[in-house]
Amino acid sequence: MGSEIRVRFAPSPTGYPHVGNIRTALFNWLFARHNKGVFLLRIEDTDQERKVEGATKIIMESLGWLGMDWDEGPFFQSQRLDMYKKYAEQLVTEGKAYYCFCSSERLDAMRKDQAARKLPPGYDRRCRCLSKEQIEAEKAKGIVPVVRFKSPTEGQTAVTDLIRGDVVFENSTLDDFVLLKSDGYPTYHLANIVDDHYMDISHVLRAEEWLSSTPRHVLLYAALGWKPPQFAHLPMILGPDKSKLSKRHGATAINEYQNEGYLPETMINFLALLGWSLDDKTEIMNRQEIITNFSLERVSKTAAVFNRDKLEWMNGVYIRNLNIDDFTARCLPFVERGLPPEVKRPVDAIYLKEIAPLIQERAKTLNEVPQLVDFFFVAELDYDTIMLQGKLDKVQAVNVLEKSIVMLEQLKEWDPDIMEKTIRPLTDELGMKAGPFFSVLRVAITGRTASPPLFATMAVLGRVRCMERLKAALQKINS
Ligand code: GLU
């Protein structure tokens, strides 16, 4: 084992990776990249009951989407069962662990009794001192035992945490936890430390909720005669109401953010700030800047708050910073998916690129883009006459349309500046305010009262479509 930094992301495939999991992955990845170390991926799939089909695939795709590449793995704990068994048995042989034959009925009754008597839950150690003969007798009955660790019953175990300092646990609160289950699968505690040892993990960076498991791990390392890695427990992530972040606070699975049109750049920046900061004020940092500056010293002890408004704002910033080709390319799948079905597919990417600069400023997520651009694509607009007239009466609105049509038809060049110079004087001529006047044209051209700049929009839409729409509006109002 050298001085090399080696860290791991060790998710259990019991669900789709959520914001908290990915923040853990990110901090490990940043720590590895900052220190030119190794980031490895280990799938902790030892809980056969809670395993979710497809979760491993989504975990890997999410890391891929965010550009968090791993140097080693993926390793699967389910493929290393012999290894865990070997160490469980070694500990039994050395008298540091023992077979437990208690039935699940007995354990349930014990727990109920403890709850009724308001005692802390935990195994009552009935099998801790079985004699050789008793063990053989139980085995002869065909009962497959679990292996439990012999935790010390008194004294204290200290965990040295790089973020929290020394955290001391009373051994009396640690029960004789299971190492190996009767199905031959290890528990999290055993598999986790065997792997961290064999994979030469130098630092364990994980969520704060695992801190209470760490004294058990420290004791296990000692029992096996291994040097433990360094630990750093990352602060909790809370929802805006200051309770632990959960589904109640909206999307938590990371692929939902992808589907909603958040950029991976945004997510990296945003998640990095959930518990780490450069200087308490810098918000926008690209991936390389974060890698360069990342350190555990600036990871906070106090919980981070997940602020969705900030995420949206940040995504808008990243969207605006994309060059137009990149922005168009990223919009394309969302537009394909989100435009009304009658629009011809595949969507015209060259046309979309002309539209893109008109809406880039306004999109906070890529998912909003189809609604922002649909009027460029649909054959017919759907709006009602009331909206078209706006503050004007029918005669006035008809005037706006008729005069504009005449002027625009005479134009030799379909250019936004020329259109503007030609049309704007009509407001004086008709004695109207610019607002209501342009509103008629805007609704006729886009079908809505708010849109990108009108003449730039008309230039992209093209002469033929614009004239058709103005005439259709006129017909609509007259009918
Ligand atoms: N499998 C655990 C999890 O799902 C790993 C915890 C750890 O990093 O030790 O988070």
Q: In what order do the strands lie in the sheet with 97-100?
A: 97-100, 146-149, 178-180
Within 225-307, residue ranges assigned H as helices are 254-259, 264-272, 287-293
Mutate which of 24, 188, 213 for ligand 1? The one with the most ligand atoms within 8 Å of its CB, which is: 188
End-to-end CA distance of the chain: 84
Condensed to tens digits (0 to 9), the pLDDT of residues 150-170 reads: 999 999 999 999 999 999 999
Of the candidates 364, 312, 365, 376, the residue with the CA atom closest to the CA atom of residue 339 = 376
Ligand 1 atom closest to the CA of 206, numbered from 1:
8
Condensed to tens digits (0 to 9), the pLDDT of residues 299-352 reads: 999 999 999 999 999 999 999 999 999 999 999 999 999 999 999 999 999 999
Residue 187 binned pLDDT confidence (cut-offs 50, 70, 90): very high
| Residue 2 pLDDT | 54
d(Cα 77, Cα 8) in Å, to the nearest integer?
A: 13
Residue 471 has pLDDT above 90, yes or no: yes
**pLDDT > 70 in the chain, percent:** 99
189 Cα: distance to centroid of ligand 1 (angstroms):
10
Common-topology check for domains 81-234 and 322-376: no
Residue 42 binned pLDDT confidence (cut-offs 50, 70, 90): very high
Q: Do residues 126 and 145 touch, judged by C-beta distance below 8 A?
A: no
435 Cα: distance to centroid of ligand 1 (angstroms):
59
d(Cα 9, Cα 40) in Å, to the nearest integer?
A: 6
17 Cα: distance to centroid of ligand 1 (angstroms):
12
Please identify which residue in the block is written with the tokens 């002027």.
407
> Which residue has a Cα nearest atom 5 of ligand 1?
10
The neighbouring-strand residues paired with 170 are 156
φ, ψ for residue 164, nearest 5 deg: -105, -5
Per the rule left: phi > 0, alpha: psi between -120 and 50, beta: everything else, 280 is left
Ligand 1 atom closest to the CA of 11, numbered from 1:
4
pLDDT, average across residues 361-377? 97
pTM of the model: 0.94
Ligand 1 atom closest to the CA of 188, numbered from 1:
1
d(Cα 403, Cα 408) in Å, to the nearest integer?
A: 9
Mutate which of 18, 28, 29, 210 for ligand 1? The one with the most ligand atoms within 8 Å of its CB, which is: 210
**pLDDT > 90 in the chain, percent:** 95
> Which residue has a Cα nearest atom 2 of ligand 1?
11
Condensed to tens digits (0 to 9), the pLDDT of residues 442-463 reads: 999 999 999 999 999 999 999 9
Within 165-303, residue ranges assigned H as helices are 188-198, 214-224, 254-259, 264-272, 287-293
| Residue 28 pLDDT | 98
> Which residue has a Cα nearest atom 10 of ligand 1?
11
- Which CATH number is 6-79+237-310 given? 3.40.50.620
The neighbouring-strand residues paired with 40 are 8, 72
Ligand 1 atom closest to the CA of 213, numbered from 1:
9
- Which CATH number is 81-234 given? 3.40.50.620
Pairing of strands 156-161, 72-76: unpaired
Pocket of ligand 1 (CB under 6 A): 10-12, 44, 188, 192, 206, 210
Residue 1 has pLDDT above 60, yes or no: no
Of the candidates 365, 377, 364, 381, the residue with the CA atom closest to the CA atom of residue 336 = 377
Mutate which of 206, 221, 237 for ligand 1? The one with the most ligand atoms within 8 Å of its CB, which is: 206
- Which CATH number is 385-478 given? 1.10.10.350
| Residue 249 pLDDT | 83
Residue 251 has pLDDT above 90, yes or no: no
30 Cα: distance to centroid of ligand 1 (angstroms):
18
Pairing of strands 38-43, 72-76: parallel
Q: Do residues 218 and 166 touch, judged by C-beta distance below 8 A?
A: no
| Residue 128 pLDDT | 97
- Catalytically active residues, by annotation: 247
Mean pLDDT of the chain: 96
- Which CATH number is 322-376 given? 1.10.8
d(Cα 61, Cα 69) in Å, to the nearest integer?
A: 11
d(Cα 335, Cα 325) in Å, to the nearest integer?
A: 15
Which uninterrupted H or E stretch holds 165? strand 165-170
Task: Show the tokens assigned to 11.
Answer: 């998710």
Pairing of strands 237-238, 304-305: parallel
Task: Show the tokens assigned to 254.
Answer: 């990371």
Residue 246 has pLDDT above 90, yes or no: no
The neighbouring-strand residues paired with 9 are 41
Q: Do residues 98 and 128 touch, judged by C-beta distance below 8 A?
A: yes
pLDDT, average across residues 426-444? 97
> Which residue has a Cα nearest atom 8 of ligand 1?
206
Q: Do residues 335 and 327 touch, judged by C-beta distance below 8 A?
A: no
pLDDT, average across residues 375-383? 97
Sorted by where each begins, the domain ranges of the chain are: 6-79+237-310, 81-234, 322-376, 385-478
DSSP letter at 121 equals P
Contacts (Cβ under 8 Å, ≥6 apart) of 4:
37, 38, 200, 202
Q: Indicate the length of the chain as a whole number.
A: 479
| Residue 247 pLDDT | 80
